[in-house]
Amino acid sequence: VLVVAAAAAAAVLLLAGKSGGTGGSSAPLVVGGDATLAVSPPSAGCNTTFTFVARGPLSGTGTLVYRWEQSDGQVTADTSLPITSNEGAFQLTQSWRLQGSQKVNGAMTLHIIKPTDHRISQTFTYSCP
């Protein structure tokens, strides 16, 4: 029996610790090209929840729009996060639970839609005899 469940995504914006308060930068939002996506655990056996954490730098203001795309075809709804000039980084988390007897070489992709189209993927292995 195959049971696949994607837990609700959680988003956390990390403050960069910028000084100067409200400043006045109104530059458009930019997501740094060195954003990363990690999975824990990278491989596991029966009845496992894989947790994916994406992190990356931000600058400017605007709206970050993203969705999670699983290699089994499941896709979350687009999520919009307003970004102010005080945020200097993002951290987004998504879980994928696999149960039952199966072998899966899967991948999760964070698809950033706005401000610019960008995809970051991470693979994992599930093996339950």
What is the number of structural domains in the chain? 1
Confidence of residue 22 (pLDDT cuts 50, 70, 90): very low
Domain range for 82? 3-128
| Total-model pTM | 0.81
In angstroms, the Cα distances linking 114 to 11, 25, 62, 72, 89 are 16, 19, 9, 24, 15
Residue 47's domain is classified under what CATH number?
Answer: 2.60.40.3880
Beta bridge partners, 116, equal none
**What percent of the chain stands above pLDDT 90?**
74
In angstroms, the Cα distances linking 11 to 14, 40, 62 are 10, 17, 16
Residue 11 is predicted with a pLDDT of 52
Residues 52-100 have pLDDT tens digits of 999 999 999 999 999 999 999 999 999 999 998 878 899 999 999 999 9
Q: Which residue has the higher pLDDT, 32 or 15?
A: 32
* 110 close to 90: Cβ distance less than 8 angstroms: no
